[in-house]
Amino acid sequence: MRGAVDLPIGGGPDILHATYGALQEDGRLKITDGDSYVLLVIWDKDGNVHSMSVHQFGSSTLHEDSPHYADQSPLMANRQLKPVWFDEEDIRQHLEREYVPGEEK
């Protein structure tokens, strides 16, 4: 359970896709620790780099009001990865907002 996100998840201690949990009063296991950031990098035969990643929660781990507080949890539960964008064109196509640190409103 992460905020309002409640998903079934597989895994176990000390393995790839590690999960550790605490038994809840309702008999469910709440995952408290485990794998975090997973990154896969592939170089194709032409030397181009491609990358995919996932974080067990999302990119905003401390702000429950953020849409990114648990947005990657379904990916992690389903053992899926998302693309990592390297070049400016790809980044700009997926940009949510642009700001200069220290000047944000």
pLDDT tens digits, residue range 12-56? 788 777 888 888 899 888 877 877 788 999 999 999 999 999 988
Query: What pTM did the predictor assign?
Result: 0.74
Domain membership flag for residue 30: no
Domain membership flag for residue 43: yes
Domain membership flag for residue 13: no
End-to-end CA distance of the chain: 31
Residues 6+ apart with CB under 8 A from 49: 41, 42, 43, 86
Give the CA distances from residue 82 to residues 48, 55, 59, 76, 100, in Å, rounded to whole numbers and listed in that order. 18, 10, 13, 10, 26
Q: Structural domain tally of the chain?
A: 1
Domain of 61 in residue numbering reads as 36-93
Domain membership flag for residue 24: no
Domain membership flag for residue 102: no
Domain membership flag for residue 40: yes
Domain membership flag for residue 16: no
